[in-house]
Amino acid sequence: MPTRVAIHSSVERIFPPEKLQSLLSELDVEVSDDVAEGTASGDAGDFDAVVSFGYEPGFLEADLDWIHCVRAGYDEFPLDALRERGVRLTNSTGLHGDSVGETALGFMLQFARRLHRYRSDQADKAWNPPTWDEAFTLNGESVCVVGLGTLGLGVARRADALGMDVAGVRRTPTPVEHVSEVYTPDELVGAISDARFVALTVPLTDETEGLLGAAELDAMREDAYLVNVARGGVVDQPALVEALRSGDIAGAGLDVFAEEPLPKDSPLWEMENVVVTPHAAAATVDYADRIAALVRENVRRREAGDSLTNLVV
C-alpha cells in the first residue's frame, strides 16, 4: 500500500504547505488541517503519516504510524505517549548546519565589527564612528560551542575558518574536527569562562533546561557575548536580562526565547547590546526541498519495511 501523507498546515510557519505538496507530487499527499478527520473525502483514518511543524493531540486520535517534524527540535512532542501508541516520530536534524552556522557567525561578526550599532544609528541618520577600543576582529578570538551536533559543527567549522580558537562541550569528550579543546557538560563553567563568545547549540531536554543560569553567566567574561540559536529554555532568561543590564556580559545575539514571539514588554527588545531575531536562524529558501528529500527517503524506507532515518522514537 502506498503511504498516504498529510501535510499539516502548521508547516506554513516555514514554507507554504502547497509548496511541499507539489515537491512530493509523485506521492499520495494532501494538505490537511485536521488529520483525525482524514482526507477531503471525509474518511477518518485516511492518513498513514503527517508532516508537521508542531504537535496536535489530534495526531494521536488519527490512525497514524509516523509523524515527521519539519524542525530539528522536538521538545513539544509527547514522546512517551507516542511510544505507547506505537507512533514513530522523525525530525529534521542534519539540515541546519549551514543556515544556523552562518546566522551564529553573523551575530558574532555584528558584535565584533559593531554592525548592529551602525544599523541602529542609520534609523537616525547618525554618523557615530566607534571608539578606538570598541571594534575587534573574530580572527584570534575564542568561542565555546555548547553542543557539537549538526548546529554546533556548523558553527565550529565557520569559526575555525575565520581564525577563531574553538572549544566545545559534548557529552563524550572525544576529539572533534575544528575544535581545539573538548569539554564534558560537568566542565561547562570552566569551558565558557575564557571564551569571548559562547554559542548554545544543544537540544532542550531535562538536562539542558536552564543550563546557562546566573552562575554560568557570572563565570563568563565581562567582554563576552552569548549566542543562542538552540532553544530559549536552555537559558535562564531573567538571569540573562540581569547579566546584560549589570554588564556581567557584553551582549547577546538571540534567535530563541522563553516565550515566542518575544513579548512586546520584554526588556531584551530595547537593549543596545542585544540583537533579537525572530527564531529565523534556520530559514532558507530551499527548506521545503530539503524536507521533501527527507520525507521521500522515509516513505521509501517505510514501504520497504526499513527503519526510518532521523528516528526519534
* Contact residues: ligand NAD, CB under 6 A: 72-73, 93, 96, 100, 147-152, 169-171, 185, 201-205, 207-208, 229-231, 255-256, 279, 281-282
| Nearest CB to ligand NAD, comparing residues 171 and 245 | 171
Q: Which listed residue (18, 76, 207, 260) is catalytic?
A: 260
Supply the minimum distance, in Å, between the C-beta of residue 212 and ligand NAD: 11
* CA 24 distance to own-chain centroid: 25
279 is known as an active-site residue: yes
Positive or negative torsion for Cα 42, 44, 46, 50? positive
Q: Go through the chain and tell me how many residues it has.
A: 313
Q: Which listed residue (4, 8, 96, 279) is catalytic?
A: 279
Supply the minimum distance, in Å, between the C-beta of residue 110 and ligand NAD: 16
| Nearest CB to ligand NAD, comparing residues 122 and 205 | 205
Q: What's the CA gap between 94 and 290, in Å, rounded?
A: 10
User: In terms of Cα–Cα distance, which of 69, 21, 9 is closest to 310?
Assistant: 69
| Nearest CB to ligand NAD, comparing residues 47 and 74 | 74
The position carrying cell 573538548 is 182
What is the bridge-based pairing of β-strands 274-276 and 4-8? unpaired
| Nearest CB to ligand NAD, comparing residues 56 and 209 | 209
* CA 166 distance to own-chain centroid: 20
Contact of 224 with 253, CB cutoff 8 Å = no
Supply the minimum distance, in Å, between the C-beta of residue 95 and ligand NAD: 8
The position carrying cell 521509501 is 300
DSSP per residue, 98-120: HHHHHHHHHHHHHHHHTHHHHHH
Q: What's the CA gap between 141 and 152, in Å, rounded?
A: 17
| Nearest CB to ligand NAD, comparing residues 50 and 151 | 151
Q: What's the CA gap between 306 and 54, in Å, rounded?
A: 25
The residue number with the shortest CB distance to ligand NAD is 149
Catalytic residues: 231, 260, 279
